[in-house]
Amino acid sequence: MSKPIKATIVVCDTEVTVVSFGDEDFISLTNMLKAKDGDFFISDWLRNRNTVEFLGIWETVHNPAFNYGEFAIIRSQAGLNSYKLSVSEWVEKTHAIGLRASAGRYGGTYAHKDLAFEFGMWISPEFKVYLIREFQRLKTDESRRLSLAWDLNRTLSKLNYRIHTDAVKEHLIPSVVTSAQAALTYANEADLLNVALFSKTAQQWRAANPKLDGNMRDYATIEQLLVLANIEGMNAEFIRMSLPQGERLKRLNEIAIRQMTTLTATNRKALPGEKKALS
């Protein structure tokens, strides 16, 4: 499971924590509740029949393991004066995934962003509007930073590729060869890097991903592009040291594994055709 990523937004002078678990964003209802006037609890929101109906519909769409039998019982009781339900009870009885109640570093009650926006409406229509605006601003900023970082590492990779090809040309290609023969040597060394980092050649990647445009490097993560730039420069030096290709592959793979381990503190979800370095 991916390590959660935490961020904070300010909504109507209230700091609200946003935690991303993989591709899903959860927003702290505990923080949001501070913006509501009076003494209220999240359980007050849960006892509302409209709330229960909405939660049930959301879980039906997103959660194959949702317990409809328990949900029907809860729905029949919602709105009654005697009805009371905590988030933990809701999750335990229905196997819901849209709400989370936990202790520890990310303690408190969190809701999937879809549900958190509805909770924001319960606080006030104004709060919901500003919550959506600040959340969208956060995601836009994150996307922009990731895009800039990806472009930078792709540029570094291209620059190191020039250093790499110059080393190949100078030390591995005889003075009298055809253009086709030279191209094979360049491709062979490029695949050496591909195998060291991605565990497959360019041809193997294309065969496994016939519907994707571009090449495996176009689908690489930021961390992989950075490591690729590093091992391109190192392979150029190994070539100048006249190390055999087999030994260079072994060394580069060991370096790739170490660097990827350092750069990725979590197990990221791989893109199509993506694979970790050789083990």
Rounded to whole angstroms, the Cα distance separating 62 from 28 reads 20
| Domain presence at residue 141 | no
**Is there a single domain that holds both residue 173 and residue 246?**
yes
DSSP state of 216: G
* Two structure tokens written together for 84: 């009371």
Q: Report whether pLDDT(24) > 50.
A: yes
Q: What is the mean pLDDT of the chain?
A: 79
Does any domain span residue 59?
yes
Tens of pLDDT, residues 95-111: 999 999 877 665 789 99
Q: Is 232 helix (H, G, I), strand (E, B) or coil?
A: helix
- Whether residues 161 and 205 share a domain: the answer is yes
Q: Please state, in angstroms and rounded to a whole number, the distance separating the CA atoms of residues 7 and 2.
A: 16
Token pair, residue 61, equals 């769409």
Two tokens, residue 232 = 């391109």
- Average pLDDT of 253-277? 62
The per-residue DSSP string of 9-60 comes to EEETTEEEEEEEETTEEEEEHHHHHTTSSSS--HHHHHTSHHHHHHHHHHHH
154 in the same domain as 60: no
Are 78 and 173 members of one domain?
no
**Listed residue (142, 133, 104, 131) closest to 29, CA to CA:** 131
Give the per-residue pLDDT at 116. Answer: 93
pLDDT of res. 62: 93
Flag whether 152 is in a domain.
yes
Looking at the domain assignment, is residue 128 inside a domain? no
Tell me whether residue 215 is exposed, middle or buried, using C-beta atoms within 10 angstroms of its C-beta: 0 to 12, 13 to 18, 19 or more.
Answer: middle
- Contact yes or no for 60/144 (Cβ under 8 A): no
Residues 118 and 187 in one domain: no
Closest CA to 195 of 276, 260, 262: 276
Asked whether residue 157 is assigned to any structural domain, the reply reads yes
Contacting residues for 121 by C-beta, under 8 A, at least 6 apart: 127, 128
Please check whether residues 167 and 218 belong to one and the same domain.
Answer: yes
pLDDT score of 177: 52
User: What total number of domains does the chain contain?
Assistant: 2
pLDDT digits (tens, 9 = 90+) for 179-199: 665 556 667 778 888 888 888
pLDDT at 59: 95
Same domain, 119 and 157: no
Residue with tokens 């594994």: 257
pLDDT (0 to 100) of residue 97? 94
158 shares a domain with 77: no
Q: Would residue 130 count as lying in a domain?
A: no
Report which listed range, 71-75, 80-84, 225-229, 262-266, is most confident.
71-75
Whether the per-residue pLDDT at 157 is higher than 80: the answer is no
119 in a structural domain: yes
Is 161's pLDDT higher than 70?
Answer: no
200 is in which domain, residue-wise? 147-263
Does residue 271 belong to any structural domain of this protein?
no
Q: Which helix (H) or strand (E) holds 110?
A: strand 108-112
Q: Residue type at 152?
A: L
Are 61 and 73 in contact by the 8 Å Cβ rule? The answer is no
Look at the block and give the residue holding tokens 């209802």. Answer: 29
Structure tokens at 158: 């291209």
Does residue 97 sit in the same domain as residue 179?
no
- In a shared domain, residues 119 and 154: no
pTM: 0.53
The residue out of 123, 156, 172 marking a domain boundary is 123
Residues 71 and 155 in one domain: no
Nearest one of 116, 117, 52, 28 to 60, comparing CA atoms: 52
- Among 3-17, 107-121, 217-231, the minimum mean pLDDT is found in 217-231
Mean pLDDT of 244-273: 72
Tell me the mean pLDDT in the region 259-271: 60
